[in-house]
């Protein structure tokens, strides 16, 4: 569970750091924290609601809970905290976090499949 949570946190921090860099915001730890805390809080809520400790590397419910928590709940927390949002920002947040939070889990699942069956056995039916 600790490694899965760390991977999810890294995904959120990467999203924030890339976004701040793209907008030429200061890359101080305080600035990154100010932007990241709503998404990290949403991530925590999503992981708890999905009971991610049961199967932390699963796409569902852990991955979906992490993604919707970080992106959806995080965005709500961001609004309640008085931080700005825009439609494009919401779309980018949902897309980026889906790609990364669900992506590392999908890659783990695929690698596990290959480890147990070989690279092509059973993959195509």
- The answer to the question of residue 37 being in a domain is yes
- The answer to the question of residue 124 being in a domain is no
Predicted confidence at residue 24, as pLDDT, reads 74
Predicted confidence at residue 84, as pLDDT, reads 84
- The answer to the question of residue 22 being in a domain is yes
Q: Supply the pTM of this predicted model.
A: 0.87
- The answer to the question of residue 123 being in a domain is no
Say which range, 15-19, 24-28, 37-41, has the weakest mean pLDDT.
24-28
Per-residue confidence band for 124, with pLDDT thresholds at 50, 70 and 90? very low
Please, is 52 exposed, middle or buried when counting C-beta atoms within 10 Å of its C-beta (0-12, 13-18, 19+)? buried
**Highest mean predicted confidence (pLDDT) among 64-73, 80-89, 104-113:** 64-73
Separation of alpha carbons 106 and 15, rounded Å: 19
Per-residue confidence band for 118, with pLDDT thresholds at 50, 70 and 90? low
Phi, psi at residue 22, to the nearest 5°?
-65, -30
Residues 6+ apart with CB under 8 A from 65: 46, 47, 49, 50, 51, 52
- The answer to the question of residue 57 being in a domain is yes
Domain count, the chain: 1
- The answer to the question of residue 122 being in a domain is no
SS3 at position 85: coil
- The answer to the question of residue 19 being in a domain is yes
- The answer to the question of residue 32 being in a domain is yes
- Look up the domain containing 86 and give its range: 2-117
SS3 at position 121: coil
């Amino acid at each position: 569970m600790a490694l899965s949570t760390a991977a999810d946190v890294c995904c959120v921090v990467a999203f924030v750091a890339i976004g701040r860099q793209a907008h030429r915001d200061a890359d101080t730890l305080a600035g990154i924290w100010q932007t990241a805390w709503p998404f990290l809080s949403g991530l925590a809520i999503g992981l708890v609601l999905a009971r991610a400790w049961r199967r932390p590397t699963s796409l569902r419910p852990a991955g979906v809970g992490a993604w919707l928590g970080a992106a959806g709940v995080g965005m709500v927390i961001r609004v309640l905290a008085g931080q700005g949002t825009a439609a494009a920002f919401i779309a980018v947040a949902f897309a980026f976090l889906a790609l990364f939070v669900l992506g590392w889990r999908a890659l783990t699942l695929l690698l596990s499949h290959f480890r147990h069956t070989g690279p092509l056995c059973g993959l195509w039916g």
